[in-house]
Chains A and B, each alone.
Chain A
Amino acid sequence: MDVDPRLYEQIAVNDTDVHNIIMSYLVHNCFKETVESFIACTGMKQPSDYLEDMEKRKRIYQFALEGNALKAIELTEQLATNLLEKNKDLHFDLLSLHFVELVCSRKCTEALEFAQMKLTPFGKEQKYVEKLEDFMALLAYEEPEKSPMFHLLSLEYRQHVAESLNRAILAHGNHPTYTAMERLIQQTTVVRQCLNQEHAKVIHQTFCHEYLVQRNSKLH
């Protein structure tokens, strides 16, 4: 089922809404220079500390993504005190990044000591025991890349942790943790899926293809 694109023309779109959506995306992902030039072009007003925080968040994100978890933790403590205390899962994940770094650089003794000091205290709670097992298992292999837990060494994992950290910091500062852009795309996809389910149609295309390519083809 497809709605006649001409119906879209009936809905008026507010410029300010659009600007806000774009801005929330840029801020969330710390695109500082783009934000500055966007503000300059559109004449939007933003509170000044927004930019500072963004810079700090960007650095924290970068450190976490590289695997330099200790630096990321240090900066997070400066920016948002008690954040990690309240977010034990996140804290564990960050510490595990450092552990992984040590394992990858084959510093076994250091890794073991670090684990004993920092990670095992989490083990008192049952839910962390399995995670702890996953990480400790990396130590058991001379080539961790070939072990069953190799996914813990991947970029995807670091990205996942860095993003969680970013969201937590935003939440701490009472900012939205998900961008309006993300939410809109999610919402629309779900609605389309529901509507299409009713008509038993199978959708294989991605969101973009749906809206941009298809729409363009209809204009011709």
Chain B
Amino acid sequence: MGGVEDDEPASKRMKLSSEALIHLSNGSTVKESIVGSSRDLMARPLQSDGGEEVVGSKGVIKKVEFVRIIAKALYSLGYIRSGAHLEEESGIALHSSIINVFMRQVLEGDWDESVATLHNIGLTDEMIIKSASFLILEQKFFEFLDEEKVMDALKTLRTEISPLCINHGRVRELSLSIVSPSHCFTVRSPKQNTSRARSRTKLLEELQKLLPPTVMVPERRLEHLVEQALGLQRDACMFHNSLDEEISLFADHQCARDQIPSYALQILPAHTDEIWFLQFSHNGKYLASSSHDCSAIIWEVDANGISLKHKLSGHQKPVSSVSWSPDDHQLLTCGVEEVVRRWDASSGECLSVYEKAGLGMVSCGWSPDGKWIFSGVNDKSISLWELDGRELECWKGQHTLKISDLEITSDGKQIISICRETAILLLDREAKVERFIEEDQTITSFSLSRDNRFLLVNLLNQEIHLWSIEDDLKLVSKYRGHKRTRFIIRSCFGGLEQAFVASGSEDSLVRTLNLYYINL
């Protein structure tokens, strides 16, 4: 290694001030001056005995380690000559010579020699030596079996593997595999059905995992460090709403504010009264809106914007909600305490009307397979209908309120609705189990995430609560900031991977929050 002469007594070197050290590095050996320019680019390296240096502005990266993982990365990428050249030029060897010998012996199948070398590496932990020997001898065993040298394999097992006295369970499996090829537990690729031994390169990888990382540098270490850094950048990105593939190594990742919708693109005037509900179709090509003016409208979305497609009239009462069928061919609309209507989305024709004598519907939803329709009824029950109008089931009891949302999880198992002013019911249809989300305040609306794991609950007191509904019901976060006094405010999940929450507000603003940023 270039730098300070090694025969200088250690104590003398320690006393030298840093200024003097730099003098030394500037004026010393030939190797120094050649790489002088690249040295200048880095921060001043500190030299002490043994040539330990650091790189980077914070001085935490050890140069020897840095060069070794770069060399390893070059070799992994297949740039053998570059890797060798780096080792030579830097004077830093990727692996010590005995390790190189060991690796060569393993790859060439010199098993007994490699086990002997293993003992000479200088490892202090007996267990590691034994486990590594076990792996190597196991390879020897399986290669014998592959060559049909059964008695040699048995001899290896009896005289070399068992005496190690570790991993008796594995010894059992090995003895079974002598007689029974199908009961073999090594990892093998589907193509290699006849070979029971793994490849020698894979063996080397397994050995490397056993040995301390300073002895044998782990595979793909540099890639791992870079991925870690990218992960941290992504997590720190507040407006992150882009695909991972777009992250570049050249600059720290930071989504711009405009990754999130932040200004109005279009205004759609068509309804004549308050608009109460909106929903995009699953494929995003259509938008349905419903209004106090007793109608619903289907809009078409294309590159130029949104245009009106059909106006659906027929309800006698304001339409409180809409629901797209799973295949987006049909739309359900619900008149407040009136009927539920089913429409064909492409023709705008009303296909069915669902009603119950003397009662009114309050909400509607599709089953995930598109075969059934759920609706809340103003006698607090929930009904299940077949598309042709036949009622299949009815859950009576306090299941729903007069004005309420109704959602069904995408696996069809749970029905979610507001059953009391301050409670949401999660009804498991198969297990017939009811769970309740209890709040202190009146619930005005809720929204289910696409992955069925979370529920956003809007409350009367201007708070939005995020609940986890997967296993146990747990309140995860509370959000404040929007205004609500007179109207029903809705919030929803959005963005790529539904990582954001957006909510409306009576101060005419739409607020968005990044869920991951708030440590879910």
Contacts and interface: CB of A to CB of B under 8 A. Distances in A.
A157 interface: no
Interface string A130-143: 00111011111110
Majority secondary structure, B binding face: helix
B158 A142 contact: yes
B179 A120 contact: yes
Given A108-B154, A112-B154, A133-B175, A140 B180 contact: no
Interface string B99-127: 00000000000000000000000000000
Contact of B162 (A112, A123, A136, A142): A142
B4 interface: no
A129 interface: yes
Interface stretch (B166-174, B322-330, B399-407, B479-487): B166-174
Contact of B158 (A119, A123, A140): A140
Interface string A117-129: 0011001000001
Interface in A116-175: 116, 119-120, 123, 129, 132-134, 136-142, 147-148
B408 interface: no
Contacts of B172: 133-134, 136-137, 140
A115 B179 contact: yes
Contacts of A134: 172
Given A123-B180, A133-B176, A148-B168, A112 B158 contact: no
A119 B180 CA distance: 10
Contacts of A116: 179
Contacts of A112: 150-151, 154, 178-179
Contact of A137 (B150, B171, B183): B171
A141 B180 contact: no
Contacts of B174: 140
A196 interface: no
A109 interface: yes
Contact of A132 (B151, B157, B161, B180): B180
A136 B178 contact: yes
Interface string B154-194: 10011101110000100111111011100100000000000
Nearest to A142: B158
A53 B151 CA distance: 44
A132 B176 contact: yes
Given A129-B183, A142-B159, A136 B151 contact: no
B151 A109 contact: yes
Nearest to A116: B179
B151 A140 contact: no
Given A109-B151, A112-B154, A137 B180 contact: no
B487 to A, nearest CB: 65
Contacts of A147: 162
A8 B154 CA distance: 65
Contacts of A140: 157-158, 161-162, 171-172, 174-175
A92 to B, nearest CB: 14
A139 B180 CA distance: 14
Given A108-B154, A112-B150, A115-B179, A133 B173 contact: yes
A217 to B, nearest CB: 51
Contacts of B176: 129, 132-133, 136-137
Given A112-B150, A120-B180, A123-B183, A136 B175 contact: yes
18 contacts: A108-B158, A112-B150, A115-B179, A120-B180, A123-B179, A132-B179, A133-B172, A133-B173, A133-B176, A136-B179, A137-B168, A139-B175, A140-B158, A140-B162, A140-B171, A140-B174, A142-B158, A148-B168
Interface of B: 150-151, 154, 157-159, 161-163, 168, 171-176, 178-180, 183
Q: What are the 4 tightest A-B residue pairs by CB atom distance, in nearest-first order?
A: A136-B175, A137-B172, A140-B175, A133-B176
